[in-house]
Amino acid sequence: MKGQRVLIRYTVFSALAAALLASAALIGDRIDRARPTLPDAITETDLAFQGRRLRGLALGAEGLIADWYWIQSLQYIGGKLLSYQGEINLDDLRPLKPRLLNQYLENATDLDPHFYAAYAYGAVVLPAIDSDQAIALIKKGIENNPDKWRFYQYLGYIYWRRGEYQSASEAYARGAALPGAPRFMLEMAAAMKSRGGERETARAIYLNLYENSPDAQTRENARLRVLEIDANQQLEAINERLAKAREQSGSCPVLGAAVNSLFRSIRLPANNPIRIDAAGEIVDPSGTPYRFDTVRCRLAISPASKIPKPIE
Amino acid sequence: MNPAENPRKSVRIIAAIAKNTFRESIRDRILYNLVVFALLITASAVLLGELTNGQQARTIVNLGTNAILLFGTFIAIFVGVGLVAKEIEKRTVYSIFAKPVGRWEFVTGKYIGLCLTLLVNTVVMAIGVCLALLYVNGTELIVPAISAIVLIYFELLITTAIAILFSSFSTPTLAALFTLLIFIIGHLSSSLRDLGAALGTLFVGLLLEFLYYVLPNLAVFSFRTEAANGFLPPVSVIFGAAAYAIIYACAILIIAIAIFSRRNFK
């Protein structure tokens, strides 16, 4: 009898506690939802702490705090990309207004001056926002890691993106002089001087970034860039053939086996062959079939493809 | 008891007290923190890949080494300050000193016992960090991480000695607070010297310079951020840190013994 009473009491108390906790959770959730969304100008206040001021005061945990800023920078850009409604152009991320990215990366690298991944990420993403900030970040990296040739590779890359081939060549040459620098650096120093704006140079740069970058996001972006360059090279050749065929016959040819054999005869570099899938469709370097615009009689990258598309 | 009287006997007594202190710590479920650490490091190894964009190895080293220092410091402080106080509170100290046990042997034994507990704790956590690094293919960071952990253990030797020093004359709460403050100041001690140089007043400058040398310079044991980048501390740094830790801890223990020897338990 007594045991039963105790059991009932415990059950009632447990149910009451569970009900109160559930109510509190519900109210909390309501409050969160009712909270007005503040504009970016208010929510994105400048970072309260500056890495260089925290340095030496973090009881030796500077590396851990740098990691936190690094994760924040990734989340920040990820959030901006997800919430942006328009077409995303990897070459110009300014419409996303990611003005805190530089501060996050500055803090991460102030706290841990050897944080290579943070510098590399900044070198690849910041030029699409503010290339001066990217150059300043990499120059800081060079100052803190004077014996690491990779920082010069990134500096050369940023100058190349700006079309400053002479500065790019100088950066690659300085990196090439450091111990352990691969032959690629010397080759790029020469290529920048003679053919900085050429497609093959761009391909070599992105291929090297893909093979050597420390973070997965940079590698993926570089891979897509290589595919984009290859796709553009294929499209140029294919669309030239289509235009000729249209000129000769007076109408746009219907894609099919006959036309495919025509495309197969196009001579592109061995590392970029034109491929036709099992269904007989011409596919881009990522394996997605090209979109055929019958009105303009042109092939283009399909919206379903992962390859970055030119903004129309 | 004079230590010179019978050194072998003293060693036996110290070993017995150290063994008991170690057993007591285990019985007090001190090592339960290892469960929290295991969960933390496992979660890091599994989840950090996505969050850190492929930088999980360095984050595991940062997270692991800082957690080892944090857990170790908390154990050193909160167990250290209670070692002597508990014996007095439970009045077991009377029965101990009724036997031929010297106060210096008691303090030394307690210190060594807690250092042993911390050693087991640190070794198990270090194994956890290494396993997590193996899981994420971060093997190149294993040796740097271990060297950073060795330095952390040296730091814990000093923190434990300071906790015992304060507990020899103060209440456990105050002793914990003082030790925590010394831990913080110890990590910022180089700022004391810089501040002294910047102020320009001779007296304040000398005072801060004095404090810089008297307080422990715990920053010499910090190699966590460097280890996460794959750097190894030079051998001279490791041996220098070991020598500093042993000399400083001995000095603090001598002061603790001197104070404890004069303490009246009535």
Q: ipTM of the predicted structure?
A: 0.78
Work out the mean pLDDT of chain A and round it to a whole number.
83
Give mean pLDDT, residues A271-286.
82
Alpha-carbon span B116 to A29, nearest angstrom: 48
% of chain B beyond a pLDDT of 70: 97
pLDDT given at position B181: 94
Chain centroid to Cα B152, Å, comes to 8
Confidence band for A193, pLDDT divided at 50, 70 and 90? confident
Q: In one letter, which amino acid is B61?
A: V
Q: What are phi and psi of A252, to 5 degrees?
A: -75, 130
Work out the mean pLDDT of chain B and round it to a whole number.
87
% of chain A beyond a pLDDT of 90: 18
Q: pTM for this one?
A: 0.76
Chain B residue nearest residue A64, CA to CA: B62
Alpha-carbon span B44 to B63, nearest angstrom: 8
Residues 6+ apart with CB under 8 A from B45: B56, B60, B132, B135, B136
Q: Which carries the bigger pLDDT value, residue B187 or residue A48?
A: B187
Tokens found for residue A49: 């702490």
Q: Chain A interface, mutation test: which of B47, B52, B55, most A Cβ atoms within 10 Å?
A: B55
Q: Is A114 on the interface with B (CB under 8 A)?
A: yes
3-state class (DSSP) for residue A298: strand
pLDDT given at position A158: 92
With beta carbons under 8 A apart, name residues in chain A contacting B69: 60
Q: Chain B interface, mutation test: which of A54, A64, A150, A219, most B Cβ atoms within 10 Å?
A: A64
Q: Do A117 and B53 touch (CB under 8 A)?
A: yes
Q: Which range, of A269-273, B15-19, B128-132, averages the lowest pLDDT?
A: A269-273
Q: Which carries the bigger pLDDT value, residue A56 or residue A274?
A: A274
Give mean pLDDT, residues B225-241.
91
Reported as a single tens digit per residue, the pLDDT across A246-258 is 888 888 877 777 6
Q: Which of 30-59 (A) contact B at CB < 8 A?
A: 56-57, 59
Alpha-carbon span A225 to A221, nearest angstrom: 6
pLDDT of B136 higher than 90:
no
Q: Which range, of A197-206, A290-299, B235-244, averages the lowest pLDDT?
A: A197-206
pLDDT given at position B161: 95
Reported as a single tens digit per residue, the pLDDT across B10-53 is 889 999 999 999 998 888 777 777 778 877 887 777 777 777 77
Residue B91 gets the label, from left (phi > 0), alpha (psi -120 to 50) or beta, of left
Torsion of CA B50, B51, B56, B61, to 10 degrees: -150
Alpha-carbon span A123 to A218, nearest angstrom: 10
pLDDT of A42 higher than 70:
no
Confidence band for B141, pLDDT divided at 50, 70 and 90? very high
Alpha-carbon span B61 to B48, nearest angstrom: 12
pLDDT given at position A49: 63
Reported as a single tens digit per residue, the pLDDT across A58-101 is 788 899 999 999 988 988 888 888 888 877 777 788 888 888 88
Reported as a single tens digit per residue, the pLDDT across B67-101 is 999 999 999 998 888 888 888 888 888 788 888 88
Q: Do A64 and B226 touch (CB under 8 A)?
A: no
Least Cα distance to B157 among B227, B73, B223, B66 occurs for B73
% of chain B beyond a pLDDT of 90: 46
Least Cα distance to B23 among B74, B62, B79, B63 occurs for B79
Exposure class string for A55-67: b at 16+ Cβ within 10 A, else e: bbebbbbbbbbbb
Give mean pLDDT, residues B135-144.
92
Q: In B136-234, which ranges are continuous DSSP H helix?
A: 142-167, 172-187, 189-199, 202-214, 224-228
DSSP A50: -
pLDDT given at position B3: 53
3-state class (DSSP) for residue B54: coil
pLDDT given at position A34: 78
pLDDT of A169 higher than 80:
yes
Q: Do B229 and A115 touch (CB under 8 A)?
A: yes
Contact A207, A184 (CB under 8 A): no
Give mean pLDDT, residues A145-157.
92
pLDDT given at position B2: 54
Which one of A180-184, B192-196, B256-260 scores highest in mean pLDDT? B256-260
- Location of structure tokens 């990820």: A78
pLDDT given at position A232: 86
Q: Do B225 and A214 touch (CB under 8 A)?
A: no
Give mean pLDDT, residues B157-165.
95
Q: Is A77 on the interface with B (CB under 8 A)?
A: no
Q: Do B229 and A112 touch (CB under 8 A)?
A: yes
CA dist list (Å): B140 to A121, A215, B137: 22, 17, 8
Give mean pLDDT, residues A97-112.
90
Q: Do B187 and A59 touch (CB under 8 A)?
A: yes
Contact B66, B108 (CB under 8 A): no
